[in-house]
Amino acid sequence: MKLFFAFIAFALSVGWAAPSAAAEVNPARGNVTYTPDVTFTFRTSIADGKLVFIGDAGAISGQINPDLKVPENAVVQINVINDDGAIHDIAVPEFGAKSDQLVGKGASTAIVFRATKSGTFEYLCTLPGHKAAGMFGKLIVGDPQAAVVSTALDVSQNPTSVGEPVGARAPMKVTLDLETTEVEGQLTTGSTYKYWTFNNKVPGPFVRVRVGDTITVNLTNSKEATHIHSVDFHAVTGPGGGAAVTQVAPGQTKSFTFKAMHPGLFVYHCATPMVAQHITNGMYGMILVEPEGGLSKVDREFYVMQGELYTAQKHGSQGLQEFSLEKLLDENPEHLMFNGSMHALSDKYKLQATVGETVRIFFGVGGPNLTSSFHVIGEVFDKVYDQASLTSPPLTDVQTTLVPPGGATMVEFKVDVPGNYILVDHALSRVEKGLAGILSVTGKEDPSIFHSNEKIDPTSGH
């Protein structure tokens, strides 16, 4: 009896709000269950520039956003203690469990639920922006070895795949081979989408040439495809940017040749009706036409494109996401992403640099509909080549730059302070739909540029 009252006292002290599964009759045992089968305790914190959950006891102690492994049908309790003073909560949406909000340092709460099915599910803080800032992890129910391994393709484009600078070379003949494919690709953990791609990546390959080059484009449509595809290069002077002569049926190849007459950074995309559907499904990329003599030297170059997906299922749904024509026509995307998937530039690939280096980002919007307000949180662009014009003087000291759908920009800046810098569209609600990336900068601190004034209590242990 003392144990029962001790448990109730603890539940009240942490503001416990649990579904009825926590206290139920178990026919196999013939009694009432008042205690969970598995308990985890988190502290909220800030680590490596992110909001996180940190394990506070047992096997997960000290781990950031640890995987929580529990048997199927177990009653699970997750305790959370506020250790950073911000407002938080915790939820496991798949099992309908959500806590009240933790307000103030030292506050605590808990959720209790029954893990009624096996698989991998998400726990997270549901406050706006907190998941995007890092407060989420995995709840693994049952034997993880028995979980079904996804066969979906990783379509996310590596941001460092920018090709070789042209330097001072003379104009030459260049051949570009593109294949259009229709593949089920990874959207995020537990969800997929039927992407249409160039060369199995979203965006398609970064093409790098110089003004005066003669480029032959060979476009092959995969024999497994079920739609006609084409390609329209905004750098091309000619009918449809090439699309008029590259409407390619499955299993066929068509070609055209063009001369790169204008330097700049240009978008290319499929231009087969309905064009917006082909683009949203992933059929876009960029071609850089460098000026004579090439671009100035920088230490790091990255290729980043913003895209939208319009699905019948709500953002965060599991399984295969299906295309919604209605949402496309209403210009109401469920998912937004950099480089093809939700975590392409945060988990799969990280943009990396060292203090003192200069960074150049080739940024474009595949769209097909939304204009981007491109911004890197914690940095100022030293140079912005507005509308990707490489022959106009760049703008200087710019915080945020507008890029229209089907448009591009080139930004450059020096990194002076170590830390994580988040790439966003400053229409910040879009972060909640997946639109964020991370530039990770390492190196020596410079307190004259930036330092924290927070006083640390030596007795707190934190």
pLDDT tens digit sequence for 62-113: 999 999 999 999 999 999 999 999 999 999 999 999 999 999 899 999 999 9
173-290 has the same fold as 2-142: yes
**pLDDT reading at 33 higher than 50:** no
Instruction: Say if CB 450 and CB 396 are below 8 A apart.
Output: no
- Quick: pLDDT tens for 103-132: 989 999 999 999 999 999 999 999 998 998
Better-predicted residue by pLDDT, 396 or 29: 396
**What's residue 4's pLDDT?**
38
On the CB side of 59, CA atoms within 13 Å amount to 7
pTM assigned to the model: 0.76
Instruction: Using alpha carbons, list the distances in angstroms from residue 409 to 266, 380, 390.
Output: 9, 15, 9
Rounded Cα gap, residues 2 and 162, in angstroms:
66
- 278 labeled part of a ligand binding site: yes
**pLDDT reading at 5 higher than 60:** no
Better-predicted residue by pLDDT, 3 or 222: 222
Size (the chain), residues = 462
**What's residue 32's pLDDT?**
40
**What's residue 347's pLDDT?**
87
**What's residue 173's pLDDT?**
98
**What's residue 24's pLDDT?**
41
**pLDDT reading at 460 higher than 80:** no
Task: State phi, psi for 59 to the nearest 5 degrees.
Answer: -65, -25
- 234 labeled part of a ligand binding site: yes
Structure tokens given for 304 = 């980043």
Rounded Cα gap, residues 79 and 99, in angstroms:
10
Structure tokens given for 351 = 């943009």
**What's residue 49's pLDDT?**
74
Rounded Cα gap, residues 49 and 70, in angstroms:
29
- 315 labeled part of a ligand binding site: no
**What's residue 11's pLDDT?**
40
> In angstroms, how far apart are the furthest CA atoms of the chain?
87
**What's residue 145's pLDDT?**
54
Residue 25 confidence class, pLDDT cut points 50, 70, 90: very low
- 229 labeled part of a ligand binding site: yes
Superfamily of domain 173-290: Cupredoxins -  blue copper proteins (2.60.40.420)
**What's residue 458's pLDDT?**
46
115 by DSSP, 3-state: which? coil
Query: What value does the mean pLDDT take over residues 25-38?
Result: 53
- 283 labeled part of a ligand binding site: yes
Pairing of strands 207-210, 284-290: parallel
Domain boundaries, the chain: 2-142, 173-290, 300-442
**What's residue 18's pLDDT?**
38
**What's residue 144's pLDDT?**
59
Query: What value does the mean pLDDT take over residues 147-172?
Result: 90
**What's residue 112's pLDDT?**
95
- The kind and range of the H/E element at 383 are strand 381-385
Of 233, 343, 335, 346, nearest in space to 283 by CA: 233
- 125 labeled part of a ligand binding site: no
Superfamily of domain 300-442: Cupredoxins -  blue copper proteins (2.60.40.420)
Superfamily of domain 2-142: Cupredoxins -  blue copper proteins (2.60.40.420)
Establish whether the linkage from the previous residue to 172 is cis, with ω within 30° of 0.
no
Pairing of strands 24-26, 31-33: antiparallel
Rg (CA), the chain: 25
Structure tokens given for 312 = 């019948």
- 269 labeled part of a ligand binding site: yes
**What's residue 258's pLDDT?**
98
